[in-house]
Amino acid sequence: MIFVDTGIFIAYVNKRDINHKRAMEILEDIMRGKYGKAYTSDYVFALLKTKDVRKALNVGRLILGGDDLPRFVEILFVDKATFNKAWEYFQKYEKLSFTDCTTIALMEEYEIDYIASFNSDFDGIVTRIF
């Protein structure tokens, strides 16, 4: 199983992003099931922002499916227990944002093996595909 971080989605829809080509390769592998079932979270979804609202909407459609796009990723929701575990991680890992800590807590809870992310702050904590 694999967790998909915000930057992968943003780079995928933004052709000018330095990571666009790699994001396309990663998401195509994920869509083909190379890493098993794919997940993201409501916290990741909340970060979908770009200077171009259309791109943010395209990322939302990519995650949610529709408009001839199959849904390939499941959204996990942060509950109270996950929030509390994320708070523990946030106090432990100073380099991570709270959203990143919710990701780690969800990965632990759902036994997700990999994270697709361009954020090197995950290195040494979870196995990152980039």
Q: Which residue has the higher pLDDT, 64 or 97?
A: 97
Give the up-direction half-sphere exposure of residue 9: CA atoms within 13 A in the CB hemisphere. 28
Q: What whole-number distance in Å separates Cα of residue 38 and Cα of residue 43?
A: 15
The answer to whether 40 and 73 are in contact (CB under 8 A) is yes
Task: Check which CATH number belongs to the domain holding 27 and give it.
Answer: 3.40.50.1010
* DSSP annotation of 37: S
The pLDDT, as a whole number, for residue 69 is 66
Print the domain residue range for 24: 2-129
* DSSP annotation of 43: H
Q: Which residue has the higher pLDDT, 108 or 15?
A: 108
pLDDT at residue 96 greater than cutoff 80? yes
The first and second tokens of residue 53, run together, are 């609202």
CA-closest candidate to residue 126, choices 115, 110, 116, 111: 115
- Portion of the chain with pLDDT greater than 90, in percent: 66
- 105-108 long-range Cβ contacts below 8 angstroms, 24+ apart: 105/78, 106/3, 106/39, 106/41, 106/76, 106/78, 106/82, 107/3
Q: How many structural domains compose the chain?
A: 1
The pLDDT, as a whole number, for residue 80 is 98
Q: What whole-number distance in Å separates Cα of residue 35 and Cα of residue 31?
A: 9
Q: What whole-number distance in Å separates Cα of residue 16 and Cα of residue 67?
A: 23
